[in-house]
Each structure stands twice: as C-alpha cells, then as structure tokens.
Chains A and B, each alone.
Chain A
Amino acid sequence: MKAEEFNISQEDFELVERLHQGDLTVQERALLEEKMKASEALSQFAEEYLIYIDAIETSAFRSKLSEIEETVQFSQDARSPKKSKPSLNLIRFVGIAAAVIVSVCIIGYLWNAKASSYESIYASHFKPDPGLPTKMGIQDKYSFNKGMVSYRQGKYKEAIKEWTDLYVERKDSDTLTYFLGAAHLADHNLKEAKRYLEATKSLEKNTFQKESEYYLGLCFLAEGNVKDAINVLRDCQDGRAEALLKEVTEE
C-alpha cells in the first residue's frame, strides 16, 4: 500500500474510534461503511483498531508491572535488615565501628576535599538500570534477550560481549545502545559507558532519552567533571535527576 493510500484522515479516524465505542448515529454508521468500501486503508484500520488499543494497553500494563516490581523489591530490601533484634554488645560494637568509620570519613573528606565528595554522590546515587523483562522463545530477539538475561543476573561482561556483536549491525537501536552504556557503567567502564550513552542521546528515535541523560550525568560525576554533569542533569527529565542535581550544586 502506498503512503498516500495508507494514511487516513482525522475525521475517519475519529469515526472508527466512535464506532468501537458504540457512539455512532445510524447515518454516521452508514457513511463510515460507504467510506470503508472505498478505502482499503480505512477498512484495514477499522479491523485492526482493537488490536492497536490492546497493544497500547499491554505496553502500559507492562510498564506499570515493572514499576510495581521495583517498589516491591525496594520495600523488601528495606525491610530485610530488621528481621533480627541486635544484642546490646552488637549495638555497642556497631556504635564504636560507626564512630571509627565516621572519623575515618571525616579525615578522608578533609584529605580529598571536593573530588571525592562528587564520587561519593555518584556512589550513593548509582543503581544499575534494572533492565527489561525477557520473553522466552522469541527467536528474532534471541541475542538481545540472551544478553538481557546475563545483564539482569549482574553478569555485565557477558551481556556486553553478546550485545557488542549485535551492535555492529544495529547501531540504530536505542534499546541496544542504551543498555550497552548501562552495562559498561555497571561494570565500571566509564569511558565506554559514556561513549554508548552519548551515542544513545544522539539517536533520532530514542525512547531512553531521560535514562541515558541521567546515567551520563552520573558518569561525568564519577570522573569529577562537575560542569558537564550539571549541564546534562539540568536538561534531564528523569525524576532522579533533580535530587542528584540539588546534591551536586549544594557541594
């Protein structure tokens, strides 16, 4: 089907939408049926409309599930240390240890001044991207999914190996480029992480814009390059960027 034949007008689009909502008058329905007879594109769209809506909803549903998964995981992690009640001796020991650690930290802070404070901000904020859910049995995405399984198990080197081979042919893929950056960062290869995250940012179609900017900001921070970190984070739409930026600028 040619492009001009494939496109449908806004009026026709809305008629199809209202047809599925059961919101058409008898006259409007007759008009739409006439139009569908004359246009293959419109007829096809009317047929596929519900599949499109189902797919959009499924995509949103998956995002919501991942969000819940992260929240539940986080609250489980937060709860787990409270399982056993520490003894008095342990509290005393922890207290002394904490005092020693705090003293060492203060000395360390005075020693290394600003640079190390930015690195510690990086360390306190950095949490690897949790990755994407993998669906078993999809042959055309086998390599990517295989890498994602390794990535989600924390085997970053294996994921990088799998994805680097794939990257040779798929430099246009925002998902692949972004996760290569994320894997390198999680594996502490700052230089490579920056390379892929910057490549993600420059892609025309990039669904990982905010994530790539946030992690790029963290890369700069880990290097002590505060100026570039601030520049990237200031434009970043990721919810985590604001808190990080605030912490950096208050230093």
Chain B
Amino acid sequence: MNTLKLDWISLIGMKDIAGLIKENDDETLKSLYTDNYQKVEHYVVKNSGSKIQAKDIFQESIIVMWRSVKKGRFEPKTMGEVNAYLFQVARNKWIDFLRSNEFKKTDYNGKENIESQELYDVEMDLHYEEQIRRIESAFSKLGRECQRLLKLFYYKKKSMKAISEILHIDAASSRNKKYRCMQRLRTIVQENNK
C-alpha cells in the first residue's frame, strides 16, 4: 500500500514559498538550509575551498536570496526554483572570490561571466551593503533587551501587544522602549561614523 507522506517540503510546495520566506518562517529557513548546504559545501570544497569558506559563502548566498525575495526581485513559485537560485548565487560568489584572490589566473569561460553579471544585478549595490554592515555592527553593540525587542517587532513581526506580553511590560512601555532603542541604535551608528 502506498503511504502518502506529507513532509514539510511537500507542504510548503503547496503554500506560497515566497510568502513564507518574506515572513521569516523558521521551518522554511531550516528546510532551505538542510536541502542546500551539503551541495554548496561539496561544490566549494571540490573547487579548492575549505569547509569554513563554504559555510561563509552559503550564509552570504542565503542572505542574498532572502533579500531578493523580500524586495520582490525574485518571485519563486516552487522550492525547486529557490534551491536552484541559491546554488547559482553561491557558485558565482565562490567564482568571484577565486578570481579576486589567489586564483586570479584561472581561466573561466564566457558563459560564467554572463551569469555572474546577471546575479550581481540582483545584489545590493556596494554603498547600500556598506550601510547595512555599519548598522548591523551598531546593532550588535545594543543592549540585549533592545536587541530582543527590535528583533521581535521587525523580524518576527510581532504586534506591540504580543511583545508587551513576552517582555512582561505594558503596551505603552513597549512603544516607548522601541523608540528609545531605535534612538540608541542611531546614536551608535553616528558615533561609529565619526
């Protein structure tokens, strides 16, 4: 007798995959990680890289894919499309890294050049990327409570009511605290820019 197995992959295949990525759904992210990491690691290690470098390349690539979906530049319909896109980004990032460092003399064919250029079009421009890094660095210096509150609101998309329940404070205090945390974040960014 055939058993109908509905695992997470099958389920999200039926759902709106782009929507789940935009919502920062934990299970979807975990699936993306487990489905793709080994393939990327194998590719990097086979092409003169280490496992540590593979991890970094994979992390940066999954961020590029995630941002592209959030900004509406990539609208996947299936998990297969996401996996293919993610591998393509990782592959091109690795080729780019090899070209810019000790493997400068390696000869690559024209096809890879075109694909690499296309993928760069969907990545952030360098100035924007630099701004993100500066704010991320400042964010890591915020107090734990502020980090938690801002993550709950902006990443987990929790309502202020839900946040006040999680933090055991009233809704007005949560709002005030969110404002103060953002002000603190802006101040650290400004201090770091001096």
Contacts and interface: CB of A to CB of B under 8 A. Distances in A.
B186 A60 contact: no
Interface stretch (A48-56, A163-171, A213-221): A48-56
Given A56-B150, A207-B144, A65 B33 contact: yes
A45 to B, nearest CB: 7
Interface string A43-83: 00100100111111111111111001101100000000000
Interface string B31-58: 0011001000000000000101101100
B136 A55 contact: yes
Given A13-B179, A45-B186, A56 B139 contact: yes
A61 B154 CA distance: 11
B135 interface: yes
Q: Is the interface of A mostly helix, strand, loop or mixed?
A: helix
Contacts, number: 110
Contact of A68 (B30, B136, B147): B30
Interface string A1-29: 10000111010011000000000000000
B179 A65 contact: no
Interface in B96-118: 97, 100
Report, as a range, how many residues of chain A touch the other chain: 35 or more
Report, as a range, how many residues of chain B touch the other chain: 35 or more
B176 A62 contact: no
A57 B128 contact: no
Nearest to A173: B141
A54 to B, nearest CB: 6
A48 B135 CA distance: 11
Contacts of B175: 10, 14
Contacts of B142: 207
B60 A153 contact: no
Interface string A88-115: 0000000000000000000000000000
Interface of B: 24, 26, 29-30, 33-34, 37, 50, 52-53, 55-56, 59-60, 62-63, 66-67, 70, 97, 100, 128, 131-133, 135-136, 139-142, 144, 147, 150-151, 154-156, 175-176, 179, 182-183, 185-187, 190
The 6 residue pairs across chains A and B that have the minimum distance between CB atoms: A55-B135, A60-B155, A60-B151, A10-B179, A56-B154, A55-B132
Interface of A: 1, 6-8, 10, 13-14, 45, 48, 51-65, 68-69, 71-72, 133-138, 149, 152-153, 174-175, 205, 207, 209-210, 237
